[in-house]
Structure 1
């Protein structure tokens, strides 16, 4: 066999191994997602009849309903609409908290976020809040709960001050009890290239250099494909936009993520479960806020499935 044939054979074997590994990661993501849906939204109940010796029949009641139409503007989220949403902060000895970034619950112990959030001037991320809706109200339909960050897991290829591999995990000090107010997002089954729209959520600024929102906000954004190859010129991306590890997302209208939204998710509805979402991307960087047809860059979560699977196994 010639050297050229050997090289081709090796490339073929490598491609097959990579394909199998991706299939395994996607299969595990689907299994995990289905299990969360069953745990939170399905209940087994006994049905009996009013006569002697009647057999007990078991039925499953499924409360996975109410997928909302894709929102078209920056509007407040509804109660229990985004249970995976997390907010990351720094809490000092006086119990004062400075909120820094967003995040996404992906298991009972792990929160997904952007690696650059770990280098905030407000301090180290040491607290995560789940189940919140409006930070200015204790009368809203929410069940906020704070968790201590036990361990920070930064992607090994992330280099601070650059935005390549801008992904990290936070290990919580205890397991989250899943409910309709807080439960994980599904990891993506696909890479997102064919997704036309995404949902971005966060408590970030409503406009550039403006005040943060006390209410969780949601906005519909559009897949800009490879537009970022030519439209993005950021010092944090000296090698340019990476189509494999990033998503290019924006809006033809004045809608965008903004300061304080970093680390939060862009989501897609689950095809089969209207009560569940896929976390497709992580808010990473942009140019200003509310600039029509100027897309921002999001970390493509699907690219990192193998790394996420390894860290999920460690956290169990």
Structure 2
């Protein structure tokens, strides 16, 4: 486990927008996959003094290609999915944001999740699928929060640099139900399609979903460059360097309660692993076709993520 942590600390040192992925990024992703999906098994022949040989068994069988108008997630499909909330002294919990496990102690989320009316983020749930039931194939586990880490250039209420991390109160034991997403290999612009997930509202003014939902979205980069008006959230308009513009021609979107959750892509060379490309930040509406939302571009912040990882011992 320590090997994984120290490797992740160094992964962003040479990654620059427009260049190929740093080998350390690929290595970290490979090690996560090996930790969860691969097992070395001893094989021996049935006669005296036969040598023992070792074989690697890989339980990964490839990715599943593909939150308003979303489909329910399958068991173990998004093992990095996190839900953030506040638990009061009566042990009552209000869940209000999403997140992504990126190491055994850190969850990536949106900085604006630290500025809600519900209280400080002090609990994180991992391994969940459907809330309020034990009939699903899930292994939910709640973690306390040792530290909330917002990006130093985030200035609420503006949603630039809308990225943050929470440090968990103990290490996560990786399994098929709980393990990290990989950090990005690129800035996201080469991808036409993404997957967003969350437990947020299925439509504006509706109750939040009890089920983890998934939805396929598209790259709308050029649309935000010319249509995003200045407002309280984005007083300088859309920033193409640090933000992503993603939407759908249909009534599919992220919505209230999905903030902080991931936008994901698969990589053909790393089956069963997903890469967190964006963090859900802000939008105009929840279910209007061809009206995209704005997501924080994770690749732009890898240097900062690396520095925070170095502080985790």
TM score, norm. by length of structure 2: 0.92
Q: What per-residue deviation string (whole Å, max 9, x for no partner) do you get for residues 77-109 of structure 1?
A: 000000000000000011100001000000000
Equivalent in the alignment of 1:270: 267
Q: Aligned-pair distance for 1:21?
A: 5.4
The SS at the match of 2:146 is strand
1:248 to 245, 249, 268: 245
Structure 2 Cα separation of the partners of residues 145 and 203 of structure 1? 16
Q: Aligned-pair distance for 1:229?
A: 1.8
Equivalent in the alignment of 1:11: none
Q: Aligned-pair distance for 1:311?
A: 1.0
Q: What per-residue deviation string (whole Å, max 9, x for no partner) do you get for residues 246-290 of structure 1?
A: 000000011000000000000001221221100000000001111
Equivalent in the alignment of 2:131: 135
Check whether the contact 2:99–2:262 (CA below 8 A) recurs between aligned residues.
yes
Equivalent in the alignment of 2:282: 285
Structure 2 Cα separation of the partners of residues 295 and 216 of structure 1? 21
Equivalent in the alignment of 1:82: 78
Q: Aligned-pair distance for 1:73?
A: 5.5
The SS at the match of 1:309 is helix
Check whether the contact 2:69–2:253 (CA below 8 A) recurs between aligned residues.
no
Q: Aligned-pair distance for 1:226?
A: 2.4
Whether 2:214 is the aligned partner of 1:200: answer: no
Q: Aligned-pair distance for 1:31?
A: 2.0
2:211 to 215, 230, 234: 215
Check whether the contact 1:64–1:273 (CA below 8 A) recurs between aligned residues.
no
Q: CA RMSD in A?
A: 1.7
Structure 1 Cα separation of the partners of residues 110 and 21 of structure 2? 21
Check whether the contact 2:86–2:93 (CA below 8 A) recurs between aligned residues.
yes
Q: Which moved more, 1:28-37 or 1:75-84?
A: 28-37
Whether 2:295 is the aligned partner of 1:298: answer: yes
The SS at the match of 1:212 is coil
Q: Which moved more, 1:179-188 or 1:267-276?
A: 267-276
In the superposition, relative to structure 1, how do residues 157 and 25 fare at CA in structure 2: closer, same or farther (>3 Å)?
farther
Q: Which moved more, 1:142-151 or 1:30-39?
A: 30-39
How many aligned positions are there?
A: 298
The SS at the match of 1:39 is helix
Check whether the contact 1:113–1:264 (CA below 8 A) recurs between aligned residues.
yes
Higher relative contact order, chain-length normalized (CA < 8 Å, sep 6+): 2
Greater Rg by CA: 1
Equivalent in the alignment of 1:7: none
Equivalent in the alignment of 1:63: 59
Q: Aligned-pair distance for 1:28?
A: 2.9
Q: Aligned-pair distance for 1:19?
A: 9.3
Q: What per-residue deviation string (whole Å, max 9, x for no partner) do you get for residues 137-171 of structure 1?
A: 11110000000000011101100100100000100
Structure 1 Cα separation of the partners of residues 227 and 110 of structure 2? 22
Q: What per-residue deviation string (whole Å, max 9, x for no partner) do you get for residues 19-49 of structure 1?
A: 9453798333222211111111110000110
Higher helix fraction (1 or 2): 1
Structure 1 Cα separation of the partners of residues 271 and 73 of structure 2? 16
Structure 1 Cα separation of the partners of residues 30 and 207 of structure 2? 38
The SS at the match of 1:302 is helix
Structure 2 Cα separation of the partners of residues 228 and 244 of structure 1? 12
Equivalent in the alignment of 1:150: 146
User: 5+ residue gaps in structure 1?
Assistant: 1-17
Check whether the contact 2:195–2:214 (CA below 8 A) recurs between aligned residues.
yes
Q: Aligned-pair distance for 1:136?
A: 2.4
Check whether the contact 1:65–1:275 (CA below 8 A) recurs between aligned residues.
yes
